[in-house]
Structure 1
């Protein structure tokens, strides 16, 4: 029985165009099926009758198929009640070679890995910035002591989701994730540039998903200019939910410049956070913004040197909370409604100015339009664009300011 075998590769294949066109395979067969037809998730795109050299029609035809990412699908047609194989297509997928990841081992991180994993973050992040043509510089809002403390915190509270990849005792990649109720958040995933494109990041990501169930939402905040990482996250069905915009601005004597014609925005009264008293209030504000309770994270923020937490009040009613670092990083902050975000940001600017801080650093979701309007009117500059990716919609981020000085939400 006539049949054909075609080996298909991805669009970068060097095979002749007559055999491979993008994500399609062209097969010659003498037993073409009747159009239209499907074979599982395969779909016949085109059926073109072949001709002989003298122009006469041939018994055969060229079939163009769109097909998925798996091997060994048989293309068949029915004839006299029997299914007859007319072609067998094998897909040659691009896989990391065994030698590419040779010598890479994986283990759970320990307290002693904190500084070395942060060096991996620095090298990998700086490489992304250089390739994007952006300036590489230290982040004053991210002091080393706080970074190290965050990693110690993750070892204690999310140790099963903090993994490192090693080669001959040297850490070449690391992943950190946290799990709060039914929301999993990837706080960090970095691989040294020389070890990228070997499947190490994918393996670290899989291992960091310890404790994830069918109802768990997977989330990550990521740089919009890193298509390689974003493609990896999307393969895990984490799709764009919102943008994350970074703003930086210089404060004047009133706590923030106001553009001509902009409406004045008042600030809230503040009261220092007391976790023994304010747990229920924080839970209510968190569930109304990020969508889950996280008392353990507030324990972390309350113990960070130079970071102050405040309740935001208006006429005795709590409207939100705000953390502000002595380096001028605002966040996390949550408000009862999106209309409260401008006043929360104005409060952050006022408190920063009172502490002698000259600049304010803020990250807000693109959906927080009220807050963004205040930042623009106050003369802040957009300095970064990121994405929030998730497997399902999580929280109401129009009333939230993400943590400005660590890898937590």
Structure 2
């Protein structure tokens, strides 16, 4: 593996400028006169750091598929990844941004409002006239990290009360929820998150709006994001209210296959020695995945859902005693995303089987005396329903 990455690095150095343009984020600004120019400089120090390619990550197929399904269909509403330390949880989530298709947004807007929609906009973009003349930019989908020690002001944003009272201006400093709008909010060690921050996340995730109120002054802005959490279950459990807000849940374990472990170490070593060359080697696979995601998104709204599939989903949730109806809705959205990603014209039972465990394992009722794995219960229920349908 090291030798192959070295040869790729040599090829990459032969076309340094082209490689740099391929690996950096491209941002296009459209001016009021309709002209455009490329700004290839990274938008922040974090953007300037080379990211391990998503397609180079070995193993953990369940987690990677769950991330891609959320990228295809945001209505799934996030993913929770629980498992052992050092199993590429954070690496996979941060690598996701590199394969997501870019988005167009209003330039200078701190919330990245879409220029072609009338709903879900901030006050400035909604009231701008004419909106068609607003300058726009194209850039990467935001993936924002929420640090463990973050305060509520850092998450929600802060109001300058003195300026508001003295000058009558609502001076607002946007927080992480604003930066994550139309993107992903990632929380590492989510099971250690403080309760008051959990409450804020629940409110924003439910309504898609963040409201900041201080001393009788109120500011509201769009905060539609996909919530991604990761953690080690040995360090504590999540509050049930937060657990239920994650659409999918992936459980990952340390890989025990010797050859795979060796390959993982080789790839990581090659990346650390020559990040640009390593990324150039995997760029064709990265581009192919981006194209597949775009095609899946375009296909999503055209998929047919037969009535027998809806009945199968409902029967499965009843058989597993799933509380509420969020299980059916999430399972259907995940199945739609899986069918679109696989290039099908309609949802099949294969799609249900592919996403049932991800969608329902964290919604099962817990019995302290029952040691059976949730995934096993779901597989048994699927097999029973399949036999009854024959």
Query: TM-score, length-normalised on structure 2?
Result: 0.21
Greater Rg by CA: 1
- Higher percent of residues as strand: 1
Query: TM-score, length-normalised on structure 1?
Result: 0.20
Higher relative contact order (CA 8 A, sep 6+): 2
